[in-house]
Structure 1
Amino acid sequence: MLNFIKAENLKCRRTFAKKLVFIAPLLTVLLSGISGMYLVQNGYNWWYTILFPGFITLTTALINQIEEKKLRYRSVLPLPVSLQKVWISKILLIAVYTSAACILHLAGISLGKFLMNPAATIAVSQMAEATLILIIASLWQIPFCLFLSKKLGLMAAMLINLGAGIMLGILAATESFWWACPYSWTTRLMCPVLGILPNGTLAPQGDALLNPGVIPLGIVLSIALFLLLLATTAKWFQRQEVK
């Protein structure tokens, strides 16, 4: 499997998909830096509600286009290799890219906090925990978006995943049924970790959304959905034929 991942990584060499790993978190840090003392608060809220879902969607779509644009996967489908492994390796590579982007985002916001507002109430340890949870809670979007990109194309994937992510991520996160809406998981889990409400404001002391009991449930649901989508989409890709 490692050789498959290395091969997929070579395909992305000098592509915009790989550059996005650096561009997306840097853009977030620069935009949040404009807000001064609210750098940490806005830097994370904008990241997990808008920019990070957009990054995942665009990255998966661009990686799909590497195969789709010129040969429509004709260079892959006829090969005597496991197509499931090819598909899974793409997903794992994107997971590495998304993790790297989140770590760079954490480093940038931490540096901004140190330089601009060392007294910010959100500690670096909280940001590190939030970054780890964000990576885990967003993994399910990778196979889902890769499937959407392969099946419907870049624009449809962007409209469906990013549109639903922005609307449902904010609206459903404060409801009792938040656990039933995958798009609300990251936003809901950030409430007890960072103390930030879905609308981007700091939660008042004693707010019900600060209950940390939702974190284990959200993580378990995220991992379960990721594994389900990984297996389902890999089996679907295995049945693809050259057209």
Structure 2
Amino acid sequence: MLYDTAPPPLKRPRDNPSLVTVVRAELARNKRGFVPWYHLIAPLVITIPLFLGALGSSEAKAGQTFEVFRNVTLEFWGVLVPMTAGLAAALTVRADQDAWRLLLSYGVPRHRYFVGKVAALGVFGFAASTVLLVMLSLGALLCGKFPEGMGVVVPAVYLPWLVGLSMTALAVLVAVMWGTGPSIGVGVAGLLCGALVSDKDFWYAVPFAWPMRVVLPLAGIGPNGVPLPENSAVRDMSAIPLAVVLAVVLTGLLLVAGSAHMSRKEI
């Protein structure tokens, strides 16, 4: 009696790259062009002229050059984080329109494209924050305030990036759904709210103001860079964990919403 000994047909594996692979692909595709250079150069463009300006300030005569440099730099950084999120999301999503026509036809779970985009832009933001930290460290070194003057710098540099991931997720979602202009509008709203709302009592209701809000109590400054009075409510450190929790929740909700939209998106 003859038996069929032929092996069963091999099942074709479903395209299923890990999220790490998708993020690496996003970083590789965006390693050239305006976006990576912007994240590298923006901290330099901010810090170099501000340091030169601090050298000529009246506070410099009192030996407070680094304090002035640090405070003004962190003020600019707090409003720049959401602006950067909107601009980077708008440009990278627009550049991906043609590629997505092909990629969305594959069997890859579509939500990974959205989450991978947000994560990749988060990596660029982290790199920009690190460049800023290096520049502030150099400023402290030149002023003879390193390392004792760096106490608040590390959290004041990285916390806006962490909280600002919610703005990155929002900007990517807006860019995917409505295009370049509205996504840049998210960044502009973040810039304005950071300057106008971050020190108000209702700051927690305006996500655009969160990155700037975590800077103010750490640096002890207002949105205009002026030192806060010792009894100012803006110095309350409890705003920082609240902003972090709100940002984590909002980021999670936006990732879910963006993933659902990508899963239904027509090619």
Q: Is TM (by shorter chain) over 0.5?
A: yes
Q: Which residue of 1 aligns with 2:85?
A: 56
Query: 1:97 is matched with which residue: 124, 127, 130?
Result: 124
What are the superposed Cα offsets for residues 55-87 of structure 1, whole Å, 9 maximum, x if unpaired?
Answer: 22221122112212xx26212111111110111
Please identify, of 16-25 and 148-157, the stretch whose mean Cα deviation from structure 2 is larger.
Answer: 148-157
What are the superposed Cα offsets for residues 114-133 of structure 1, whole Å, 9 maximum, x if unpaired?
Answer: 21x3459x931201011221
Find out whether 1:27 has 2:45 as its counterpart.
yes
Q: Which residue of 2 aligns with 1:141?
A: 167
How high is the sequence identity, in percent, across the aligned residues?
A: 25
Q: Highest CA radius of gyration, 1 or 2?
A: 2
The Cα shift of 1:179 comes to 1.0
Amino acid at match of 1:139: L
**Shift >6 Å, 4+ stretches:** none
Find out whether 1:218 has 2:247 as its counterpart.
no
Distance 2:252 2:144 in 1: 39
1:1-243 matched pairs, under 5 angstroms: 1-36=19-54, 37=65, 38-49=68-79, 51-68=80-97, 71=98, 73-115=100-142, 117-119=143-145, 123-158=149-184, 160-242=185-267
Check 1:194–1:89 CA distance in 2 against 1; reply closer, same or farther (3 A cut): same
Please tell me whether the aligned partners of residues 114 and 262 of structure 2 are also in contact (alpha carbons under 8 angstroms).
Answer: yes
Please tell me whether the aligned partners of residues 86 and 187 of structure 2 are also in contact (alpha carbons under 8 angstroms).
Answer: yes
The SS at the match of 1:123 is: helix
Provide TM-score, normalisation by structure 1: 0.90
Aligned-residue CA RMSD (Å): 1.8
Please identify, of 193-202 and 13-22, the stretch whose mean Cα deviation from structure 2 is larger.
Answer: 13-22
Amino acid at match of 2:52: I
Provide TM-score, normalisation by structure 2: 0.82
Amino acid at match of 1:55: T
Distance 2:30 2:21 in 1: 15
Distance 1:202 1:98 in 2: 27
The SS at the match of 1:35 is: helix
Please tell me whether the aligned partners of residues 122 and 168 of structure 2 are also in contact (alpha carbons under 8 angstroms).
Answer: yes
- Residues matched between the structures, number: 236
Please tell me whether the aligned partners of residues 40 and 109 of structure 1 are also in contact (alpha carbons under 8 angstroms).
Answer: yes
